């Protein structure tokens, strides 16, 4: 199965989803997607590198970058399921549409994991906002990401 996202940057909330998925499934691919509609803070390579460092302790999780449709990524690798974290009803509104679209495109199923309430408010955007004002992001992102955010906003 695959955990897709733009991960700009990866947060402790994402890591929680990867770790939980890695206990449920034999093999997990984290797909770092290039989203043309989102102007990223980090380059694709930086985002991939940060995810790799973040999941280094999870032996059955591997990381791949991809530019294109998530449905095509799944089709090319014969992936049967997409796993995504759901924080709130607002996520559901968007995610249900994506799940239906992707299933229409290539019969791939989407499974949702209820986010740990500890990370309910956490998002890559919130992290970038806090870091841009030199706020403390140490509880929000893995250490490797905190270092890179500091470099970006110093």
Q: How far is the CB of 73 from ligand PNS (least distance, A)?
A: 8
- Residue 144 · residue 53 · CB < 8 Å: yes
**DSSP3 helix / strand / coil % (the chain, rounded to 5):** 45, 20, 35
Structure tokens at 62: 């591997």
User: Which candidate in 14, 20, 47, 84 is catalytic?
Assistant: 14
Question: Which range of residues in 18-26, 53-61, 95-103, 110-118 is near ligand PNS by CB under 6 A?
Answer: 95-103
Residue 54 engages ligand PNS in binding (rule: CB under 6 A): no
Task: Please state, in angstroms and rounded to a whole number, the distance separating the CA atoms of residues 57 and 137.
Answer: 21
Closer residue to ligand PNS in complex, CB, 34/130: 34
Residue 1 engages ligand PNS in binding (rule: CB under 6 A): no
Q: State yes or no: is 6 an active-site residue.
A: no
User: Which candidate in 20, 47, 84, 87 is catalytic?
Assistant: 87
Helices (H), 5-88: 12-24, 44-54, 70-77
Task: Please state, in angstroms and rounded to a whole number, the distance separating the CA atoms of residues 55 and 59.
Answer: 8
Task: Please state, in angstroms and rounded to a whole number, the distance separating the CA atoms of residues 54 and 46.
Answer: 12
Beta-bridged to residue 111, according to DSSP, are 83
Question: Which range of residues in 19-27, 44-52, 67-75, 114-122 is near ligand PNS by CB under 6 A?
Answer: 67-75
Place of tokens 């974290």: 85
- Which of 25, 40, 49, 69 touches ligand PNS (CB under 6 A)? 69
Q: How far is the CB of 28 from ligand PNS (least distance, A)?
A: 15
Site for ligand PNS, rule CB under 6 A: 4-6, 33, 35, 69-71, 98, 101-102
**Active-site amino acid positions:** 14, 38, 87, 124
């Amino acid at each position: 199965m695959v955990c897709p996202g733009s991960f700009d940057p990866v947060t402790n909330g994402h890591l929680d989803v990867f770790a939980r998925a890695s206990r449920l499934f034999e093999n997990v691919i984290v797909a770092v997607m290039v989203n043309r509609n989102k102007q990223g803070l980090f380059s694709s390579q930086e985002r991939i590198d940060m995810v790799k460092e973040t999941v280094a302790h999870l032996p059955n999780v591997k990381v791949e970058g991809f530019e294109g449709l998530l449905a095509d990524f799944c089709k090319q690798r014969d992936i049967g399921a997409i796993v995504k974290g759901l924080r709130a009803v607002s996520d559901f509104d968007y995610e249900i549409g994506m799940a239906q679209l992707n299933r229409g495109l290539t019969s791939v199923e989407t499974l949702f994991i209820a986010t740990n309430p500890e990370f309910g408010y956490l998002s890559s955007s919130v992290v970038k906002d806090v870091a841009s004002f030199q706020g403390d992001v140490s509880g929000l992102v893995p250490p490797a990401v905190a270092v890179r955010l500091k470099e970006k906003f110093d």
